[in-house]
């Protein structure tokens, strides 16, 4: 009697396990609603374990930021001095000083001896401000839309996952093993090159633009870079200006702005890894020797 019940119970347990597995298998691909936006993974010099920034690209990217983005977007968590520091675009200090002095959005300082606040040119130790005093002014000037500060933009954006659960698990493992952290860069790049004509039947609101990568596809920002490129790169800049090139370069620059310690992080990471691996091997050997004494007792 007891054996019979055991067997029944065992069968029930197995059946439940199998059912549970197969049932989730046939789960939804996309129950969240809205068609998923596919964003291509790009090849970035700063991606992966050995990633580091491409210096000329950061410099070109800064040029795009300065000549295009800075018209509306601030970068106020980055300081002028950062532009000369190791791991970044590494402009020479004198030219950054000159850049800061001529930066159109001056620093409000004070109060002075007479008790008044005043405007002065930026110095190396000052943040890279955008053109607006505050969010209210930005919205007022931009028809209600708010151009966000770009200091963290690459870290603050990601690509939504719409895979079925089994693909999800697979992708998770792959991303962990390959150290994929570039979703934000992929997204911003896709957004910058994603302006197209709306598909027929798409209702675009007044003053909005159609963008393939933007959630909901309606974005207030004007297409910032024309197809032929927005800036003229210098002869020795290492690339020809185009929409694609400008978008890549400014994305790389903003990736640095979001994560200025990326290079030292990865370098120290390998030093730490090496230490841990060697010590682990030694500990493994030590453990084996110690346990050899008791194995046969």
Partner 1 sequence: MAQHESTYVPKSATARWWDERLPLMRLLHDSFVDYPTPRNLNYLWTFGGILSFCLVAQILTGIVLAMHYQPSAAEAFNSVEHIRRNVNYGWMIRNFHAVGASMFFIAVYIHIFRGLYYGSYKAPREILWILGVLIFLVMMATAFMGYALPWGQMSFWGVTVITNLFSSLDGIFPGLGTAIVEWLWGGYAVTGTTLNRFFSLHYLLPFVIAGLVVLHVWALHVAGQNNPTGLDIKTKSDAVPMHPYATSKDLLWMFIFLIMFAWFVFFLPDYLGHADNYIEANPLVTPPHIVPEWYFLPFYAILRAIPDKLGGVIAMFAAIAILVFIPWLDTSRVRSTKYRPIYKWFFWLFAFSCLALGYLGSKPAEGVYVFWARIFTFYYFAHFLLVMPIVGILETPKKLPRSITDAVLGGKGDGSGGAAKPKGAAAAPESR
Residues that bind partner 1 (CB under 8 A): 2-3, 5-6, 9-10, 13-14, 16-17, 20-21, 23-24, 27-28, 31-33, 49, 77, 82, 148, 151-152, 155-158, 165, 168, 175-176, 179-181, 183-184, 215, 258, 260-261, 265-266, 268-270, 272-273, 276-277, 279-280, 283-284, 286-287, 290-291, 294, 296-297
Q: Cβ of residue 122: shortest distance to partner 1, in angstroms?
A: 17
Please check if 73 is assigned to a binding site: yes
What's the CA angle centered on 64, arms 61 and 70, to 5 degrees? 120
Please name which of 161, 172, 154, 152 lies closest in space to residue 44, comparing C-alpha atoms: 154
Token digits of residue 95: 């030219």
Structure-block tokens of residue 297 = 């007792």
Residue 258 neighbours by CB distance under 10 Å? 21
Contact criterion met (CB below 8 Å) for 263 and 52: yes
| Conformational region of residue 115, where left means phi above 0, alpha means psi within -120 to 50, and beta covers everything else | left
273 marked as part of a ligand binding site: no
Helix, strand counts (H, E) of the chain? 8, 6
69 belongs to an annotated ligand binding site: yes
Considering beta carbons, is residue 6 or 234 the nearer one to partner 1? 6
User: Has 38 been labeled as part of a binding site?
Assistant: no
Write the DSSP symbol of residue 235.
G
Kindly tell me which of 68 and 150 has the beta carbon lying closer to partner 1: 150
Shortest distance, CB of residue 180 to partner 1, whole angstroms? 8
Report the binding-site residues for heme c: 69, 72-73, 221
Report the binding-site residues: 69, 72-73, 221
């Amino acid at each position: 009697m007891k054996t019979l019940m055991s067997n029944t119970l065992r069968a029930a347990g197995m059946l439940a396990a199998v059912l549970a597995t197969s049932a989730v298998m046939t789960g939804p691909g996309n129950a969240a609603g809205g068609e998923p936006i596919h964003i291509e993974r790009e090849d970035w010099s700063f991606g992966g374990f050995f990633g580091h920034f491409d210096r000329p690209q950061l410099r070109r990217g800064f040029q795009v930021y300065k000549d295009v983005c800075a018209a509306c977007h601030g970068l106020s968590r980055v300081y002028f001095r950062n532009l000369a520091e190791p791991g970044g675009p590494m402009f020479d200090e004198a030219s950054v000083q000159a850049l800061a002095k001529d930066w159109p959005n001056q620093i409000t300082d004070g109060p002075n001896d007479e008790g008044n606040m005043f405007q002065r040119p930026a110095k190396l130790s000052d943040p890279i401000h955008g053109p607006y005093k505050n969010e209210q002014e930005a919205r007022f000037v931009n028809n209600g839309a708010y151009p966000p500060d770009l200091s963290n933009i690459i870290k603050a954006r990601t690509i939504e996952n719409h895979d079925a659960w089994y693909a999800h698990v697979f992708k998770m493992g792959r991303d962990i093993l390959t150290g994929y952290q570039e979703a934000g860069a992929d997204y911003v790049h896709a957004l910058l090159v994603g302006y197209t004509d709306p598909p027929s039947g798409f209702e675009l609101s007044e003053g909005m633009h159609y963008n393939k990568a933007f959630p909901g596809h309606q974005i207030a920002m004007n297409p910032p870079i024309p197809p032929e490129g927005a800036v003229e790169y210098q002869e020795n800049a290492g690339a020809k200006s185009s929409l694609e090139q400008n978008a890549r370069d400014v994305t790389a620059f903003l990736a640095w702005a979001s994560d200025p310690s990326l290079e030292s992080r990865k370098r120290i990471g390998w030093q730490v890894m090496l230490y841990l691996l060697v010590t682990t091997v030694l500990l493994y050997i030590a453990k084996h020797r110690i346990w050899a004494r008791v194995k046969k007792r």
